[in-house]
Amino acid sequence: MPSVFDRISNIIRANINDLLDGAEDPEAMLNQIIRDMNDALRQADSDIADQIAQQKMLEGDLESAQRNAQAWESKAELAVSKDRDDLAREAIVRANDYNEQAVIYAKQLEAQRAAVTELKSKRELLKSKYDEARRNKDNLIARARAAQAKSKMTKVVTTANTADYSSELERMERKIREQEARAQADEEVAESKTSVDDELAQLGADSQVESQLAALKAKMGK
């Protein structure tokens, strides 16, 4: 009895949406939940039948004890009418025993009826939740997947917001500037080297011309 109560109560208290939101495969999870509910319903039906049978047995025991108590009370009255106090005392003792049994059976029967009523009530709540889960199966799965997608997107956005992209861009820009500066320096060095070479070549050419001019003048007696 406590086991089926606990199982049904746990299923009824469970929030299906929360369970699906945390599942990697919402459809598989929901199918399992529906199977668990169906199993619990079958178990509840079986247990309810057992408890009703026990209730009927207690009702029979109570009625029997009450009949026996009344019968011995009648025998006590008969014994008194016959001036048989000894038999009357014995009949009263027997009647008292059955009356005490009847009180015990009455209390047990009251508790049993309350237990059956509670189990039936929980069974109806579970049946309602089971029917709702089956009717809204596709909608529940869609909501769970939408919630998962939203959660993933939130994590991506959060990660993007917290990432320090500015420092990466600054480092990249500085590296590009260094490369540009080095290229410009290499160009200036190359231009400077070319200029010196040209001047030296020009000086060499001028010196050769002067030598040729001096030789020509000597030849002409100038």
d(CA 153, CA 50): 52
d(CA 118, CA 113): 9
**In the predicted model, what is the mean pLDDT of the chain?**
79
How far CA 218 is from CA of 161, 189, 207, 215, in Å, comes to 89, 44, 17, 5
The tens digit of pLDDT for each residue in 182-192 reads 878 777 766 66
41 Cα distance to chain centroid: 23
Q: What is the pLDDT of residue 114?
A: 94
Q: How many beta carbons lie within 10 A of that of residue 68, not counting itself?
A: 17
The tens digit of pLDDT for each residue in 131-163 reads 888 887 777 777 666 666 666 666 655 655 555
The band of 32, judged by pLDDT with boundaries at 50, 70 and 90, is confident
Q: What is the pLDDT of residue 180?
A: 78
d(CA 222, CA 212): 14
Q: What is the pLDDT of residue 137?
A: 76
pLDDT exceeds cutoff 50 at 1:
no
Q: What is the pLDDT of residue 66?
A: 97
